[in-house]
């Protein structure tokens, strides 16, 4: 085998110089990215060049700049982002809900509820006091406003989650387009034998961010293109094409977005219920489950409180107050008029007619009711049959589905004992008005105008406090959840439930952080930049570069010697 020529030795030295310079460049690149959490350290891959016809070898080849990474660790880190994003979004949402019920800051219902019960207790002590009647009005107004405010704030929170869902859709679509661009650049670069290490790091960073927003399944094919799907396999990114997510109003609930996927052919699919994780899943759950759950709780408390107070208030009398006309607070729709009136009980309810000038009781009328059979029209007709004289007292079913009770001058009337709950079902002599729970919870305007009409006793008896005591006593009776807990216990349980949800999420977040930190630590052991190693490599490449330069200089002198011979 022939020996290498001096000119081939110059070529060998040049390749050595270039390889050491490349190593120095890679070390500098690593050091420059030492604080970049998405960066994977790189190293030069040097192989001996094939000796060809020289017995001494022909130097070194720079075959690649290798990216030091563990594919499976990276996949796990990307996958864990979805759970972390979901828990972080849940924490933010639950903390916001906690603030809405912050009784310490006067934002909850605890204070207004206590003031309401205390006002009825004061009225029970002095049922003829106009001052304490006004206190009942004031406390009831405060309670009504707080119920309405809590409902309004919960509804606003829900609308905020709905709006943020649309913002997240835009972010996801932007990241999907970014992945398509990265796919294209990686494929083009690798087809041209270029290095795509930094591009691959950038693509994995994009996948992490996308996974935090919405749980994804992804795979890289043999063409170096990443395909991403969401939900139950709906394709978000297919190589060099991105489909679109859309916040659509094609939803059963007015004003609420549904999450839809739209492909390149314009065919859409509803993904609202199939998204499995990430911030998007939790936004949907906060909007459609968590907030609705607590809205229902507040509505349930408001509706039951109004019903129980109204049931007592309807059949009592105020301070020397009688009626010549009373209209029901509730009206039946046309399709309900011919159906049995719901929520009634078998029994009798009574109407007492009085002399309008002396308040002397003239007549007591008792009306039978058959639950599950009588329509509102049947009951109206039965009232008129029992009274028998419309010039004394009559009942009318109005066109709007409401019921009017009316006496004719000089008589007036009050409602008496009611075993059937017809009075409260129709809303006669209500204390509270509430058709939709907390949203429209308010005190009867008639009582605000004339606090003397507030029921404190029965039969216009002076000093009678029986009804005021009964309403005050509701605070201590089991009226909620099948008459198993009190109003206060129900409210406390609602607040405790929210607190438990916050604590459970905090524990899950801490556990999830430990998992992510563990995988991040394992990933860093493989891929992160170590300054000591890079400095050592830099010194090594510097000395290699100096040696290669000296080698070339020596060969150059030898070449001149040969030429000058």
Tell me the average pLDDT across 167-191.
93
Share of the chain above pLDDT 70, in %: 98
**pLDDT tens-digit readout, 94-140:** 999 999 998 878 788 999 999 999 999 999 999 999 999 999 999 99
Structure tokens given for 53: 């016809």
Query: Residue 52: which pLDDT band, with cuts at 50, 70 and 90?
Result: low
Q: Is the model's pLDDT at 1 over the cut of 50?
A: no
**pLDDT classification of 251: cutoffs 50, 70, 90:** confident
Cα–Cα distance for residue pair 462/425, rounded to 1 Å = 28
Kindly give, in sequence order, each residue whose CB lies less than 8 Å from that of residue 125, ignoring residues fewer than 6 positions away: 132, 465
Per-residue model confidence as pLDDT tens digits over 383-409: 999 999 999 999 999 999 999 999 998
SS3 assignment, position 132: helix
Sign of CA dihedral 367, 370, 371, 375: negative
pLDDT band at 36 (very low <50, low <70, confident <90, very high): confident
HSE, side-chain direction, 13 A CA sphere, residue 55? 3
Q: What's the average model confidence in pLDDT over 413-438? A: 94
- At 193, the pLDDT band (50, 70, 90 cuts) reads low
**Collapsing DSSP states into helix, strand and coil, what is residue 407?**
strand
Q: What HEC string does 309-363 produce? A: HHHHHHCCECCCCCECEEECCCCCCHHHCCCCCCCCCCEEEEEEEEECCCCCEEE
The string of DSSP letters for 164-180 reads HHHHHHHHHHHHHHHHH
Please report which confidence band the pLDDT of residue 537 belongs to, taking 50, 70 and 90 as the band edges: confident
β-bridge partners, 206: none
Q: What is the mean pLDDT of residues 224-248?
A: 94
* Contact between residue 228 and residue 176 where contact means Cβ atoms under 8 Å apart: yes
pLDDT-derived band of residue 51, with 50, 70 and 90 as boundaries? low
CA distance 170 to 335: 45
Q: Quick one: fold of 324-428?
A: Immunoglobulin-like (2.60.40)
CB atoms under 10 Å from CB of 46, counted, come to 17
């Amino acid at each position: 085998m022939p020996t290498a020529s001096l000119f081939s030795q110059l070529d060998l030295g040049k390749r050595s110089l270039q390889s050491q310079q490349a190593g120095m460049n890679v070390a500098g690149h690593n050091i420059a990215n030492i604080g970049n959490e998405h960066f994977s350290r790189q190293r030069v891959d040097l192989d001996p060049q094939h000796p060809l016809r020289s017995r001494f070898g022909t130097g070194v080849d720079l075959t690649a700049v290798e990216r030091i990474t563990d594919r499976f660790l990276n996949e796990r880190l990307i996958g864990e982002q979805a759970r972390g994003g979901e828990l972080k979004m849940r924490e933010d949402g639950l903390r916001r809900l906690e603030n809405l019920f912050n009784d310490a800051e006067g934002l909850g219902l605890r204070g207004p509820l206590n003031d309401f019960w205390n006002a009825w207790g004061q009225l029970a002590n002095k049922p003829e006091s106009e001052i304490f009647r006004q206190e009942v009005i004031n406390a009831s107004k405060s309670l009504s406003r707080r119920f309405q405010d809590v409902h309004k704030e919960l509804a606003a929170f829900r609308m905020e989650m709905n709006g943020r869902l649309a913002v997240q859709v835009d972010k996801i679509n932007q990241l999907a387009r970014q992945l398509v661009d990265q796919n294209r650049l990686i494929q083009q670069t690798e087809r041209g034998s270029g290095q795509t290490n930094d591009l691959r790091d950038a693509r994995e960073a994009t996948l992490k961010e996308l996974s935090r927003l919405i749980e994804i399944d992804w795979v890289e094919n043999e063409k170096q293109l990443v395909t991403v799907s969401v939900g139950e396999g709906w394709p978000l990114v297919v190589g060099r094409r991105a489909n679109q997510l859309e916040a659509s109003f094609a939803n059963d609930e007015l004003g609420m977005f549904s999450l839809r996927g739209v492909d390149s052919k314009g065919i859409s699919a509803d993904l609202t219920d199939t998204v499995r994780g990430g911030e998007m899943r939790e936004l949907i759950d906060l909007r459609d489950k968590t907030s609705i759950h607590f809205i229902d709780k507040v509505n349930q408390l408001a509706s039951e409180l109004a019903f129980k107070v109204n049931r007592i208030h309807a059949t009592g009398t105020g301070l020397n107050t009688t009626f010549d006309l009373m209209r029901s607070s509730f009206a039946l729709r046309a399709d309900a008029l011919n159906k049995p009136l719901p929520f009634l009980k078998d029994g009798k309810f009574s109407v007492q007619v009085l002399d309008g000038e002396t308040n002397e009781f003239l007549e007591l009328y008792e009306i039978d009711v058959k639950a599950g059979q009588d329509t509102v029209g049947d009951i109206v007709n039965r009232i008129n049959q029992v009274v028998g004289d419309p010039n004394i007292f009559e009942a009318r079913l109005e066109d709007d589905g409401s019921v009017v009770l009316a006496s004719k001058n000089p008589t007036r009337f009050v409602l008496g004992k009611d075993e059937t709950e017809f009075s409260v079902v129709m809303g006669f002599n209500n204390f509270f008005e509430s058709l939709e729970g907390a949203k429209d919870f308010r005190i009867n305007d008639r009582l605000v105008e004339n606090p003397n009409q507030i029921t404190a006793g029965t039969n216009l008896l002076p000093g009678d406090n029986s009804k005021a005591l009964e309403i005050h006593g509701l605070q201590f009776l089991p009226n909620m959840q099948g008459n198993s807990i009190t109003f206060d216990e129900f409210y406390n349980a609602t607040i405790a439930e929210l607190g438990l949800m916050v604590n459970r999420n905090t524990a899950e977040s801490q556990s999830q952080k430990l998992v992510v930190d563990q995988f991040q630590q394992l990933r860093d052991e493989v891929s992160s930049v170590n300054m000591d190693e890079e400095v050592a490599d830099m010194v090594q490449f510097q000395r290699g570069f100096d040696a290669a330069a000296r080698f070339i200089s020596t060969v150059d002198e030898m070449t001149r010697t040969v030429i000058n011979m």
